Amino acid sequence: MASKSILNKKSLDFLEKYLNNASPTGYEWEGQKIWMDYLKPYVDEFITDTYGSAVAVINPEAKYKVVIEGHADEISWYVNYISDNGLLYVVRNGGSDHQIAPSKIVNIHTKNGIVKGVFGWPAIHTRNKSKEEAPKPDNICIDIGAKDKEEVEKMGVHVGCVITYPDEFHILNKDKFVCRALDNRMGGFMIAEVARLLKENKQELDFGLYITNSVQEEIGLRGAEMITQTIKPNVAIVTDVTHDTTTPMIDQKTQGYAEIGKGPVVAYAPAVQQKLRDLITETAEEKNIPFQRAALSRATGTDTDAFAYSNGGVASALISLPLRYMHTTVEMVHRDDVENVIKLIYESLLKIENGETFSYFK
């Protein structure tokens, strides 16, 4: 491949704006507006649904429909309990990691705007060194500077308020993108870039392309489950993140091997339709796009499962972006992998033929 970057200033500005906006599970619509606004020049129309999934459509009249998909939501917390002395206890909204919470600043979303808080933690001097307690969901709490429960309520904070981290996008060593919520705002970004490149390169598809940004993946693939019934696609290529397993404390014998900078990760799993996956890997080989492989037992744990097992079976595949430190506020991906996922989806779309069934029996 030519070494010229396919990402330009406009796309990187969009990525930064899109990442820095909070989009917790169940509250994705502001992020979806940013995403749709960026995609407007490149598509024919939009579909949105009751729970906030957004779909940008090219060739809406076509009978044969191909989905490329990422998910829009990020993990967060809910206020679960307010103590008499004004501290907030939390429950997860998605797979939030209790171990990283202590000493993090948080944004509590109220109807009057953001209220700042901190996850406090007992000072090292006060802890029993012989049996130190680890952070757990039931012992982490947020201090918003209120003296009691009444003051918390006066500040507009109540049970059910959603809580996010304010960490913003930055770049390490020129080519590592770092932020919270790269899982899976990167997916939404990459599929948007595919749409941009199709338009800029004047590529005409002879099928309908449904660029789909699903909500509520982090709590059980729920947005994809809903939107696949609306679209009723023939094919779905899903992109999400997967673990870089080269950092400390990860067992490669159980987690497999993947590394940032080595290319997209193509999944092998029962939900992945093998002829569609073969089209993707053959495209990668033909176009010299580096890729890695991953074996996933039973379920992929991504929206691939929701698409594959819907509508009587939809030929589905998963192309993952390797990522370090998943579900922390310092998730990290390699710019080269981002570009290669975009290229691999783009080139694979150009190989899909209108009406292709991917049947094993012909």
Q: For residue range 165-177, what is the model confidence (pLDDT) as tens digits?
A: 999 999 999 999 9
Asked if 101 and 119 count as a contact pair (C-beta separation under 8 A), the reply is yes
- Which structure tokens are listed for 106? 């948080």
98 is in an annotated binding site: no
Distance CA 138, CA 157 (A): 19
Distance CA 214, CA 339 (A): 21
pTM here is 0.97
Please name the helix (run of DSSP H) or strand (run of DSSP E) that holds residue 9, with its range, or none.
helix 9-20
* φ and ψ of 70, to 5 deg: -135, 175
Please name the helix (run of DSSP H) or strand (run of DSSP E) that holds residue 65, with its range, or none.
strand 65-71
Angle at Cα 274 formed by Cα 255 and Cα 313, nearest 5°? 105
Instruction: Say what the pLDDT of residue 1 is.
Output: 43
Please name the helix (run of DSSP H) or strand (run of DSSP E) that holds residue 225, with its range, or none.
helix 222-231
Strands 315-323 and 235-243: parallel
Distance CA 106, CA 141 (A): 11
170 is in an annotated binding site: no
Instruction: Say what the pLDDT of residue 2 is.
Output: 46
259 is in an annotated binding site: no
- Which structure tokens are listed for 354? 């209108």
Q: Tell me, what DSSP letter sits at residue 203?
A: P
Specify the amino acid at residue 77: W
* Cross-strand bridge partners of residue 210: 57, 67
Active site members = 217
Angle at Cα 98 formed by Cα 93 and Cα 103, nearest 5°? 115
Distance CA 327, CA 218 (A): 10
Most distant pair of Cα atoms in the chain: their distance: 71
183 is in an annotated binding site: yes
Residue recorded with tokens 């020129």:
174
- Distances in whole angstroms, Cα of residue 10 to Cα of each of 7, 168, 264: 8, 18, 23
Instruction: Say what the pLDDT of residue 362 is.
Output: 85
What parts of the chain have a pLDDT lower than 50?
1-2
Distance CA 209, CA 66 (A): 5
Domains belonging to the chain, first-starting first, are: 9-74+180-350 (3.40.630.10), 87-164 (2.40.30.40)
Residue recorded with tokens 């103590």:
83
Q: Is 23 helix (H, G, I), strand (E, B) or coil?
A: coil
Asked if 7 and 343 count as a contact pair (C-beta separation under 8 A), the reply is no
Asked if 62 and 206 count as a contact pair (C-beta separation under 8 A), the reply is yes
327 is in an annotated binding site: yes
Q: Going by C-beta distance under 8 Å and a sequence separation of 6 or more, which residues neighbour residue 246? A: 257, 259
**Environment class of 34 (CB within 10 Å of its CB; exposed 0-12, middle 13-18, buried 19+):** middle
